[in-house]
Amino acid sequence: MTASTAPQDAVRRRSAARRLLRDPQAVITASVLLLIVVLGLLAPVLTSHDPNHASLDHIDAGAGTDGYPLGGDRSGRDIWARLLHSINTSTVSALIGASIALVIGVSAGLVGGYHDRLRSLTEWVFSLVMTFPGLLLLIVLMPLTGGDFRTTMAIFGVLLSPGVYRITRNQVLGVKNELFVDAARVSGLSDRRILVRHVLPAVRGPVIIATAFLCGSSIGVQSGLAFLGVGPATTPSFGAMISEGFHNLYLSPLQFVWPSLVLGALTSCLVLFGNALRDALEGSRRRPAGIPAPKAPAATGAAPAGLLAVEDLTIAYPTPSGELKEVVSGVSLVLEPGETLGLVGESGSGKTQTAFAVLGVLPSEAVVVRGSIRLDGRELLGLKESELRGLRGRAIAYVPQEPMSNLDPSFTVGAQLVEGVRAASGASRGEARRRVLALLERVGIPDPERAFRSRPHEISGGMAQRVLIAGAVACRPALLIADEPTTALDVTVQAEILDLLRDLREEMDMAVLLVTHDFGVVADVCDRVAVMRTGEIVETGTAEKIFGGAEHDYTRMLLDSILDENTVRGDAPVAADEPLGRTTTW
Amino acid sequence: MVTAPLLDVNGLRVSFPGRGRRSRPVEVLHGVDLAVGAGEAHGLVGESGSGKTTIGRAVLGLVEAGGGTIRFGGRDVTRLAGRVGRALAREIQVVFQDPYSSLNPSLTVGDILSEPLVVQGAAPAAARERVRDLLDRVGLPADAAERLPREFSGGQRQRVAIARALAPEPRLIVCDEPVSALDLSTQARVLDLLRDVQRRTGVAYLFISHDLAVVRHMCHRVSVIHRGDIVETGPAGPVTSAPRHPYTRRLMLASPVADPAAQAERRAARRRLAEAERTGTV
């Protein structure tokens, strides 16, 4: 689990129960399961016959015979009574098997995942358990267990535990490096408390899902063993009933149908419920992205000149209540050829959404309510994905914030760049390779041949950003959109990357739309600045005007928040040996 | 009489196991010396991979020191574990960079704040009272205790993290890039809060950051770390504005100023320095 998904997990878990209740699959399967279990519990009320009581009068009696609603089997036992008691056997099997697997698997997984030193031991033990041939072992151990299905299920629980162990261990490994676990350690909490209070909740979801499947396999194995005739014949079980029904298949086929039906319903409902549980807890997959088209044209009239003209752009997202919430409201901006415009704002101001709209890569949920985006006079909104693809890379190029996550780790840097150049220009392989090597040299990579052969993990973050810039400018785009291109980099690297962007812009006469939150970066490279707040542009002007005499209060507030050269801490340290009157106790 | 500093790090070495089975451990700190006085805000500036975060984690006991000593309040705390280590925990606290992953998403703010208190033996009623007091001190409403971290913005979460650090009344708080994930205007307010807390309680800060401007604003003294070595230490003003070491100078000239004219000058100065370094005249 990465840092950014952690808070969303809590949101998901909160609504998981509600989502489960809305899922018909979950509701139906859970009701069927509940009904079957309750029938089993009510067995003493629903039938007066002992499941093992054989009555010679009722051998192979038909359904509906007095006191025998489903008839008798070939030993004259009440099928209805046996069915109800078999449910109880299955329930107990599921409870024993699953709970033993959970207790062993979860506790060993917590310990093994959290303590690096104990992990090699737990891994070894559970790998050993996994090598046992399960069913065979249970049969071989039959003399030892005395045939009691409860003992057999307890052993089966041990055999199931490696699966639970592995799920738990993986979850713990993911969560134990989260900062809140570090913070708990710094707070002086004991390991046991950290495990129970901070680590266990993160493990909960996947283990709950696994439990449904553990119950299913316990019931299956118990019935399977009984079907094979392993264990005492006095234990009522679906397996034993099916086996007997099998012998009587031609005489009275219904004897075979009843236990099969209930067993089938039981196990399939468990599996389906487990699946519904997973969907509710982990969420279903996102739909693939599409291209949003505007609902209404721009409110203003004549098309302004300029390379890029964004007019009255309004983007909204649907809220859970079904209404649309605007994240960009009526944004207009113009970018002349060869000009650098800084789009500045704090998080949530809509600056990245605006840039994504120009690139045509808004998420599928996004709705472009109205507006227009023209590149060289051509309307971009409403273009088909294939038409946009023709523009991207050739007319518009993009430099992202996280250079590393925008390179595919399984291909060399050179292969990725060559692919991009060939897709955008249709050059031959050799020609594309020559161009890529020249570009890598141009963006200041010391040994282009070597960088060409490297995989992304072998180069630094600054180098990766140079590679992406090389890819972006490969086809001399008219417009380069850079979304916080240096935020993830060190300041010394940032300065070099900004130098590179400035040089390339002059060399290629590109327009640059630079999305950033950093006024230092703006002062370094931008000709003009547009300041955004909560989806609106509050002020636009030349860099000199914005920095020299901003008119809008919000711009001035932002500029005042900058810690400049003159803000040095003046006050001396407050000497307080025992703060707040507490004495040190060790 | 010269009083010993509150935190005294001497010749600290830390190594991490290398990748792969046979690779050698990689040493990330090569004998670091650092002293933080009581009530002082000591900045630790460096770029990614310089080892600045590792120093903080070693002081917190989250990574093991391979060599050297860490003394706190006159006592050697380099290798403390178990009960004694947990007693130390009240004295040294932490505020992490990422306000999202540093708060457990499934606990309420009240639980997050009272947990360390209850573990240290506070009665539930006293802990609740203290939580109210802490929330008030960091400028959060009292009803924040009943809410979950996700209901708060980044700046507010960082206030919760500061309140959690203040809960056991520590003498030192390690602040690891506490404002670099925050917006500009929020950043200024959180820094003001940290300064205000320091003035009122006399807690010392080991303030780790990559941003010279933030450190200049926040700290009394600064150490600059480069590839596992401290290259320059001194009062914050001179070190961040008129540095002596070439690395610090490079760092300063690379940080952009929010003024186009001044930034153009700084850029020219940076290029001159780079040129001079290349031709070997420095």
If you average pLDDT over each of A229-243, A260-274, B175-189, which comes out highest? A260-274
Across the interface, do B214 and A563 touch by the CB < 8 Å criterion? Answer: yes
Q: What is the pLDDT of residue B83?
A: 57
- The pLDDT value given to residue B206: 96
Number of Cβ within a 10 Å radius of residue A144 = 10
Q: What is the mean pLDDT of residues A73-87?
A: 88
Nearest CA in chain A to B205: A573
The answer to whether residue A17 scores a pLDDT higher than 80 is no
Provide the percentage of residues in chain A whose pLDDT is more than 90. 39
Q: What pLDDT does residue A575 have?
A: 62
pLDDT tier at A302, thresholds 50, 70, 90 = low
Q: B118: which 2 tokens?
A: 């209850």
Low-confidence ranges of chain B (pLDDT < 50): 1
Across-strand partners of B10? B69
Q: Which CATH superfamily is domain B7-17+26-104+169-240 in?
A: P-loop containing nucleotide triphosphate hydrolases (3.40.50.300)
d(CA B189, CA B166): 17
Residue A187: what pLDDT? 82
CB-CB: which of B60, B186, B251 is closest to A492? B251
Across the interface, whether the CB atoms of A183 and B161 are under 8 A apart is answered: yes
Q: What is the CA radius of gyration of chain B?
A: 20
Q: What is the dihedral of CA A116, A117, A120, A121, to 10 degrees?
A: -130
Band of residue A53 on the pLDDT scale cut at 50, 70, 90: confident
Q: Which of residues 54-93 of B touch A (CB under 8 A)?
A: 60-62, 73, 75, 84-93
Task: Report yes or no: B39 and B51 within 8 Å, Cβ to Cβ.
Answer: no
The structure tokens listed for B201 are 């309680």
| Chain A residues inside the 8 Å CB shell of B61 | 185-186
* Domain assignments of chain B as residue spans, ordered by start: 7-17+26-104+169-240, 245-282
- Residue A68: which region, alpha, beta or left (left: phi > 0; alpha: psi -120 to 50)? beta
Alpha-carbon dihedral sign for residues B99, B103, B106, B107:
negative
Of B58, B52, B63, B71, the residue nearest B9 (C-alpha): B71
Q: In whole angstroms, how far apart are CA A261 and each of A36, A83, A264, B92?
A: 11, 10, 5, 64
Instruction: Check pLDDT > 50 for residue A6.
Output: no
For B232, the 3-state DSSP assignment is: strand
Helix, strand, coil % over all residues of chain A, rounded to 5: 55, 10, 30
Residue A87 has pLDDT above 50, yes or no: yes
pLDDT at residue A190, as a whole number: 83
Chain A residues closer than 8 Å to B105 by CB: 6-7, 9-10
**Residue B84: what pLDDT?**
63
Task: Assess whether pLDDT exceeds 80 at residue A350.
Answer: yes
Give pLDDT, residue A549.
86
Q: Is the pLDDT of residue A100 over 90?
A: yes
Other Cβ atoms less than 10 A from the Cβ of A286: the count is 9
Provide the pLDDT confidence category of residue A230 given band limits of 50, 70 and 90. Answer: confident
Q: What is the pLDDT of residues A460-515, one digit of tens each?
A: 888 899 999 998 988 889 999 999 998 888 888 899 999 999 999 999 899 999 99
Residue of A nearest to B239 (CA): A568
Q: Are B188 and A563 in contact (CB under 8 A)?
A: yes
- Per-residue pLDDT, averaged over A130-144, amounts to 85
B109 touches chain A (CB under 8 A): no
What is the arithmetic mean of pLDDT over A528-550? 92
Q: Say what percent of chain A tops pLDDT 70.
A: 91
Nearest to B39 by CA among B201, B174, B159: B201
Q: How far apart are CA A435 and CA A514, in angstroms?
A: 26
- At A8 the pLDDT is 43
Q: pTM (2 decimals)?
A: 0.79
Please give the single-letter amino acid code of residue A565: E
Give the whole-angstrom CA distance, residue A64 versus residue A54: 17
CATH code at A23-51+86-260: 1.10.3720.10
What Rg, from alpha-carbon coordinates, does chain A have? 34
Phi, psi for A541 (deg, rounded to 5): 180, 175
ipTM, interface predicted TM-score of the complex? 0.84
**Between A12 and B72, residue with greater pLDDT:** B72
pLDDT band at A104 (very low <50, low <70, confident <90, very high): very high
A340 Cβ contact list (under 8 Å, min separation 6)? A505, A511, A512, A514, A525, A526, A527, A528
Average pLDDT across chain A, whole number? 85
H or E, element range at A514: strand A511-516
Identify the residue whose tokens are 């003159």.
Answer: A566
Strand-pairing partners, residue A334, are: A309
